[in-house]
Chains A and B, each alone.
Chain A
């Protein structure tokens, strides 16, 4: 019989690099780095790239020589591909437990309590299946709490003798303490940089120090959340699996531009496109919004040019969800904040005060059925339908232009799984 509480954390190994390898097998064994939006910084590395000493977050131009010398494969981030591969991986993981929390694009907690199976075998089978079905390698850590499962995952990744699956509850007490000594307290799940600093200041450096500290001290220092981590580390489960993802507080759509923009029309083009992306997200989540922020920034690193951080927030008296209302609003706000004479390199929109899409709300809401709203909705639905079938062929007039704003993505792989025109060719 299994312990009453048992969690597993399934974590993809170097997820973005692994996705690239599925469709480009000759990259197997070669170092890979993936760049952030606009090809700015390194945001993902394969093990080989880590071994070369390429740091997470380093600006691409700074490591360009190192990359060329070691023939490292460079990829622009391909989120359509990573997103689709992630949802495949998550669905396969979901076959192994009725209770699953998708924690991030490449991590998922599952609850294994009460499964009448040999859990190590069960998890090995999961690992093999995810790899065989999707091509993505994963490692699995198990423990009686989420903090422990996360810790176990580190071990599963680090030591190949465990074959990618490790159960931390099987570790004898002395070995467990030794393990904790080798893990810095800031590396524990749930201990952020600020909390780690506070702990370091009172002499708590390793997880072992943290483990042996007094519960009262931890609670005074870090509050109730810190206490939860402390108790979880001691085997008492305090953080349950979240089955329903928390509702979105806001939707952000922003980009660094491929080139600096000075012209209003060019900025408007960029922001119209970004707003349309945000509205699509809003509609996909069946939400409506009442507050919108538009911002444009100049590049803070260019010391010789004047700086401006311009933004404005506008509210609506009723929640809206329709792109024919939201896009003109974005342009309207942009017109209010725009100042000539600056070179803007970043911009975006934030939709907030999100509410459940009011179409489904009470029968009596105002304006719900006013003629113009019904027409507007029909129009956007028609546009959306056409765009779905014919590859974004209808655009707002303000969105059409020279496309200079588009972020750089010089090394992007194909969208193999989401675009008919970019399928893998064999």
Chain B
């Protein structure tokens, strides 16, 4: 058969090869309708990345692998648990020990001036800054810029920070001393070795 001398496509006419959105050859494939919606986003993301000239790295996963979920739903059989109606939340130490979460701080005890109150070296004290410091409470106090943990005593306008260990002296707050109650100790955590 002779090649026609005229007609047909001109050389170089039409869209340039690899000039589409993907900058590479494309292929038409058949796809089940139910998968169309899940494939399109992948293609669109890829397209936008090609467009933005961002280098595309393929995941190490086999890209042809596609798992299709099977719809399964179990039918309940058998007798429901008789405890179902009586389930309660498990006990949570946080809710037991901490009442003002935003105002609660943990500090570590040093020294044994409060041995009599059950505070040993290395124990963790739970301190609530929101509580008002009433007489008789164990408090974290700041005396002249230094922290100390003691039992607060207020009597007729006199304030004393009492140690609970005979080896330690009480701190009497005088006129020039600066005292700030930093927080109230609400619990002690003592962990055995």
Find out whether the CB atom of B34 lies under 8 angstroms from the CB atom of A364.
yes
What residues on B are CB-neighbors of A239 within 8 Å? Answer: none
Q: Chain A 314-340, CB within 8 Å of chain B: the 1/0 string?
A: 111111100001000100100000000
Q: Does A372 contact B (CB under 8 A)?
A: yes
CA A28 to CA B178, docked complex, whole Å: 12
| B100:A133 contact, CB within 8 angstroms | yes
Contacts of B100 in A (CB 8 A): 133
Q: Are B106 and A134 in contact (CB under 8 A)?
A: no
Partner of B63, one of A89, A317, A362, A426: A317
Provide the residues of chain B in CB contact with A58, threshold 8 Å: none
- Given A28-B145, A425-B110, A426-B147, A313-B54 contact (CB < 8 Å): yes
Q: Which residues of A contact B60 (CB under 8 A)?
A: 325, 372
By the criterion CB–CB under 8 Å, are B35 and A135 in contact?
no
Closest Cβ neighbor of B142 among chain A residues = A25
Contact of A366 among B42, B56, B106, B145 (CB under 8 A): B42
Kindly provide the distance from the CB of B42 to the nearest chain A CB, expressed in whole angstroms. Answer: 6
**Residue in chain A with minimal CB distance to B111:** A426
B88 within 8 Å of A (CB atoms): no
User: Are A92 and B102 in contact, with the CB atoms below 8 A?
Assistant: yes
Select A426's contact among B45, B102, B125, B144, beta carbons within 8 Å: B125
Give chain B residues whose Cβ lies under 8 Å from the Cβ of A368: 67
Query: A283 at the A/B interface (Cβ < 8 Å)?
Result: no
Near B by CB (< 8 A), chain A positions 65-91 give 88-89, 91
Q: Given contacts A88-B103, A365-B38, is CB(A317)–CB(B67) below 8 Å?
A: no
Q: Which residues of B contact A133 (CB under 8 A)?
A: 100, 102-103, 129-130
Residue on B nearest A24 in the bound complex, by CB: B145
Q: Which residues of chain B from 86 to 141 have a CB within 8 Å of any chain A CB?
A: 100-103, 105-110, 124-125, 129-130, 140
Q: Enumerate chain B residues within 8 angstroms of A319, measured Cβ to Cβ.
A: 45
B66 contacts the other chain (Cβ, under 8 Å)? Answer: yes
A313-B55, A317-B46, A373-B61 given; A423·B124 CB < 8 A:
yes
A25 to B178, CA, bound (A): 11
Which residues from A are CB-within-8-Å of B163?
none
Count of residues in A whose CB is under 8 Å from the partner chain? 44
Q: Nearest residue in A to B147 (C-beta to C-beta)?
A: A426
With A25-B182, A135-B129, A316-B57 as contacts: A425 and B105 at CB distance below 8 Å: no
The answer to whether A424 and B180 touch (CB under 8 A), given A314-B55, A318-B42, A370-B61, is: no
A379 CA to B45 CA, complexed, in Å? 27
Any B CB within 8 A of the CB of A249: no
Residue among B35, B57, B100, B109 facing the most chain A CB atoms (10 A cut-off): B57
Q: Are B102 and A364 in contact (CB under 8 A)?
A: no
Q: Do residues B102 and A91 form an inter-chain contact, with CB atoms below 8 A?
A: yes
Residue numbers in B under 8 Å from A297 (CB-CB): none
Q: Does B188 contact A (CB under 8 A)?
A: no
Taking the closest CB of chain B, its distance from the CB of A130, in whole angstroms, is 9
**Which of A315, A420, A423 counts the most B-chain CB atoms under 10 A from its CB?**
A315
Q: Is B69 engaged at the interface, CB distance under 8 Å to the other chain?
A: yes
**Most A CB atoms within 10 A — which of B35, B39, B59, B100?**
B59
Chain B residues within an 8 Å CB radius of A225: none
User: Is A426 touching B140 in the complex (CB atoms < 8 A)?
Assistant: yes
Contact of A364 among B35, B46, B49, B103 (CB under 8 A): B35
Q: Given A25-B147, A424-B108, does the pair A88, B102 have CB atoms closer than 8 Å? A: yes
Contact B129 A132, beta carbon cutoff 8 Å: yes
Q: Is A26 an interface position by the 8 A CB rule?
A: yes
Does A367 sit within 8 A of B, measured CB to CB?
Answer: yes
Smallest beta-carbon distance B29→chain A, Å: 14
Question: A416 at interface (Cβ–Cβ under 8 A)?
Answer: yes
Is B19 interfacial (CB 8 A cutoff)?
Answer: no
A378, chain B: closest CB distance, angstroms: 15
A291 at the binding interface (Cβ < 8 Å): yes
Complex contact B68–A364 (CB within 8 A) = yes
CB distance from A403 to the nearest CB of B (A): 27
Cα A373 to Cα B39 in complex, Å, equals 18
Q: Is the CB of A312 within 8 A of B107?
A: no
Task: Assess the B65–A367 pair: CB atoms within 8 A.
Answer: yes
Report the separation of the CA atoms of residues A93 and B182 in the bound assembly, to the nearest whole angstrom.
20
Measured in the bound complex, the distance between the Cα atoms of B41 and A362 in whole Å is 11
Task: Point out the residue from B46, B59, B146 that lies within 8 Å of A26, measured CB to CB.
Answer: B146
Question: How far apart sit A316 and B101, CA to CA, in the bound complex (Å)?
Answer: 42
B61 touches A423 (CB 8 A): no
A25: B residues at CB distance < 8 A:
142, 145-147, 180, 182
Q: A291-B54, A364-B69 are in contact. Are A317 and B59 (CB under 8 A)?
A: yes
Complex Cα gap A373–B60 (Å)? 10
Once the chains are docked, how many angstroms separate the CA of A407 from the CA of B37?
47
Residue of A nearest to B148 (CB): A426
Q: Which of A89, A315, A317, A426 is within 8 Å of B108, CB to CB?
A: A426
Q: Does B149 contact A (CB under 8 A)?
A: yes
Question: Can you list 15 A-B pairs with a CB-CB distance of less than 8 A?
Answer: A89-B102, A133-B100, A290-B45, A290-B49, A313-B55, A315-B54, A363-B69, A364-B35, A367-B65, A370-B61, A373-B61, A423-B107, A425-B108, A425-B109, A426-B147
Told that A25-B145, A315-B54, A417-B105 touch, could you supply 14 new A-B pairs with CB distance under 8 A? A91-B102, A315-B56, A317-B63, A319-B45, A362-B38, A363-B69, A364-B69, A367-B61, A367-B63, A367-B67, A370-B65, A423-B124, A425-B110, A426-B140
Which A residues have a C-beta under 8 Å from some C-beta of B?
Answer: 25-26, 28, 88-89, 91-92, 129, 132-135, 290-291, 312-320, 325, 329, 332, 362-370, 372-373, 416-417, 420, 423-426
